[in-house]
């Protein structure tokens, strides 16, 4: 059922009520991992939007009996009146143009310019715009076009009445996958409150590059909040691996294995050999990367997988290597293993390998989102609701 459109600027009591509902409009919804993370903390996604049909198909399998209003369309074509009044809007907008792989075209690029479609929706919602916004993207967002893209994005939120607070989290604190992402929580400022940037120290979630950016851009209306220390991960890559029989046809043949090993530098080949001769099985991951014009295979053997990526051109497919007892076995990560690396164990997967890898490669890490909801969004909701009720 669609929520009533609340013009909460006319009533602080309506704003307080809306905040306490903990409702969400999920933009760039993908396969629904943002939703999974928020639902674990009692948030309720009532609207979702994405342009990718394949991702929607995965989303609908995972959430078959949902009352969520999912609009499959380009955000630039999305009509404001289709978006209900919600407590929170999330936007994991495309990162393609903010990364090296996307040639750093920035927010003017074809994919990442979708951010401005999101801003346009917020602007058109006027007094109905969500009191809280959560953005997620690659860490390269901070340095894209020498920081101009990030500055422009933050100032755009400021112009709509939001104060902003950025922080960086590596999913490796939660799951055995290295996945560094930049998050921004923005909220509508209280007219009676002071929103000057609070003093803070450089930290794990606000490393030097981000801290310097904040201090170097006083024109941006920041509101920096304290957060607890990130958890320490207990899982290793070995803990999420499926038990695939050695005679399964998903393991590569010897010719293909040899080709991969021959693509390794001496350093990486030596590392693999040291794992191979041990009297136990161990698991590592590998990516093919272009180094000096050549395709090279690089392995990671510290118990943490590399960052899951979309398999464009094949280079984003992460390879699993099982080594020990004088042997090696090689295959691609399975969709279920990708789900576990994203903290989404049990995700219902009924699609092809490639489509699944695209879905998870573009997604957010579920426990990271739950952590943000627990330690940032929930306290913020309570604070804002209390202030609104007090000012009624």
Tell me what pLDDT residue 2 has. 44
How far apart CA 75 and CA 81 sit, in angstroms, is: 13
Q: In sequence order, what are the residues at sequence separation of 6 or more whose Cβ sits closer than 8 angstroms to the Cβ of residue 322? A: 281, 282, 283, 328, 329, 330
Q: Which among 32, 44, 31 has a CA at the least distance from the CA of 373? A: 44
pLDDT for the residue numbered 65: 75
- The alpha-helical segments, DSSP class H, found in the chain are 12-21, 33-39, 53-62, 114-125, 148-159, 208-216, 254-262, 266-276, 335-341, 353-361, 366-372, 378-390
26, β-bridge pairs: 48, 90
Using the CB atoms, write b or e for 217-238: b if 16+ within 10 Å. eeebbbbbeebeebeebebebe
As averages over each run of 10 residues, the pLDDT of the chain (392 residues) reads 48 88 96 98 96 94 85 93 96 68 51 83 95 96 92 96 97 97 93 53 93 96 95 95 95 96 95 96 91 88 93 72 97 96 96 91 96 98 91 72
Stated pTM of the model: 0.92
Burial class (CB in 10 A: 0-12, 13-18, 19+), 328: buried
- Nearest residue to 330 (alpha-carbon basis) of 279, 264, 389, 236: 264
The helix/strand/coil state of 297 is strand
Q: What is the dihedral of CA 28, 240, 372, 146, to 10 degrees?
A: -60
Of the chain, the end-to-end C-alpha distance in Å amounts to 28
Q: Which domains does the chain have, with CATH numbers?
A: 8-231+363-390 (3.40.50.150), 243-333 (no CATH)
Q: Quick count: other Cβ atoms within 10 Å of Cβ 76? A: 13
For position 108, what pLDDT does the model report?
55
d(CA 73, CA 51) in angstroms, rounded, equals 5
pLDDT reported for residue 201: 74
Q: What is the pLDDT of residue 293?
A: 81
Q: Which residues, other chains included, contact 299 with Cβ-Cβ below 8 Å and sequence gap of 6+?
A: 264, 268, 271, 272, 284, 285, 286, 321
Beta-bridge mates of residue 185: 134, 165
Provide the pLDDT for residue 11.
73
The confidence score (pLDDT) of residue 190 equals 65
Q: Do the beta carbons of residue 114 and residue 165 sit within 8 Å?
A: no
């Amino acid at each position: 059922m669609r929520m009533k459109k609340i013009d909460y600027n006319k009533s602080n009591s309506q704003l307080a009520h809306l905040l306490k509902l903990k409702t969400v409009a999920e933009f760039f919804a993908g396969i629904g991992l943002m939703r999974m993370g928020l639902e674990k903390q009692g948030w309720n996604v009532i609207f979702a939007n994405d342009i990718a049909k394949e991702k929607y198909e995965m989303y609908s399998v995972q959430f078959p009996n949902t009352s969520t209003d999912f609009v499959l369309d380009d955000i630039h074509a999305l009509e404001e009146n289709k978006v209900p009044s919600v407590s929170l809007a999330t936007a994991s907008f495309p990162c393609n143009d903010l990364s090296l792989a996307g040639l750093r075209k920035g927010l003017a690029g074809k994919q990442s310019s979708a951010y401005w479609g999101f801003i346009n929706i917020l602007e058109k919602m006027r007094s109905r715009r969500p009191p809280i916004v959560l953005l997620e993207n690659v860490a390269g967002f901070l340095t894209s076009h020498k920081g101009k893209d990030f500055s422009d994005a933050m100032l755009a939120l400021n112009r709509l009445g939001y104060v902003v607070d950025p922080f960086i989290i590596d999913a490796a604190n939660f799951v055995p996958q290295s996945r560094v992402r930049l998050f921004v929580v923005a909220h509508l400022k209280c007219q009676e409150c002071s929103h000057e940037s609070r003093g803070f120290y450089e930290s794990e979630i606000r490393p030097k590059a981000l801290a310097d950016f904040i201090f170097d851009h006083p024109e941006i209306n920041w509101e920096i909040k304290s957060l607890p220390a990130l958890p320490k991960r207990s899982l290793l890559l070995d803990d999420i691996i499926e038990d695939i029989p050695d005679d399964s046809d998903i393991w590569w043949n010897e010719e293909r294995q040899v080709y991969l090993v021959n693509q390794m530098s001496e350093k990486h080949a030596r590392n693999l050999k040291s794992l191979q001769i041990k009297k136990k099985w161990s698991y590592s991951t590998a990516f093919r990367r272009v180094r000096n014009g050549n395709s090279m295979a690089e392995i990671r053997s510290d118990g943490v997988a590399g960052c899951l990526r979309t398999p464009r051109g094949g280079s984003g497919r992460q390879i699993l290597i099982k080594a020990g007892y004088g042997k090696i076995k090689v295959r691609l990560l399975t969709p279920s293993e990708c789900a576990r690396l994203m903290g989404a164990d049990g995700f219902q997967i009924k699609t092809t390998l490639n489509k699944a890898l695209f879905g998870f490669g573009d997604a957010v890490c579920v426990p990271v989102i739950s952590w943000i909801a627990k330690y940032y969004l929930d306290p913020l909701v309570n604070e804002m609701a209390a202030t609104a009720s007090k000012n009624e």
